[in-house]
Structure 1
Amino acid sequence: MNKNALQRLFHVLMLMIMFALSACSTVQPWEKGTLARPEMTFGGDALDTKYTEHIYGSKEGASGGAGVGGGGCGCN
């Protein structure tokens, strides 16, 4: 094979790989409800995040935790 044929084969293979690895698909209307759930967002649920940070801060109060000073549950 000459260089031109190998180059063309390489480009065709790369194009086929790109099409195989692409994850483009159409979302059906009945599937959009699942994607709209708070768990599917990048930041997650804001209330759940604050609650989790509060619990973490309460458990790790002696070392500072997540910005909460002191020990205990931090309810006062």
Structure 2
Amino acid sequence: MKLRKILRRGLVFASCIIATGCTTIEPWVKPYERQNLADPIMAFSKAPVSDNYLHHVHQAREGARGAEGSAGGGCGCN
């Protein structure tokens, strides 16, 4: 009896989770708000070009390529 009650609650919970996957997803950032995020003050660093180059050199020297988006390859002299 108790097991049946637990299974029923689990089934209701699972169906609620599955049903929420069918909803439409609206973007959190509206198109007219994207200009605020493209502002240079929102950048992660003050020198993105040199940071990207140093990241590329570090990846080439360590031999560890990740999914950070660094381009190129080889010895790091690009």
Same fold (TM over 0.5): no
TM-score normalised by the chain length of structure 1: 0.33
Higher Rg of the two aligned structures: 1
Greater helix proportion:
1
TM (norm. structure 2) is 0.33
Does 1 or 2 have the higher relative contact order (CA < 8 Å, sep 6+)? Answer: 2
